[in-house]
Amino acid sequence: MYLLTIRDGLHTRHIGPYSSTQQAADHLDQLLPLCGEKAHWQIHELESPADLLAAREARRESTAVAA
C-alpha cells in the first residue's frame, strides 16, 4: 500500500492508501492543479510495524551469528 503526501505551504495532506504507485501518481496528476506552484509531493510505501520489527530482529540475529 502507498500513501501520497502533498506539502503546500504550511499545509500537509496525507492521501491514500493506494494499491500501487501508478494509482497514487494518477491521483497526483489530478490534485496538483489545485495546489500552489511550490507544492512538494512524495509517494511513500506503507510498512506495518510487525514487518519492521521482524526485519530488525533478523538483522540482530545475523549480526550475532557473524560475531
pLDDT tens, residue by residue, 30-57: 999 999 999 999 999 988 888 889 888 8
Nearest C-alpha neighbor of 16 from the set 2, 30, 35: 2
Pick the closest to residue 14 from 52, 22, 23, 24 (CA basis). Answer: 24
This prediction has a pTM of: 0.70
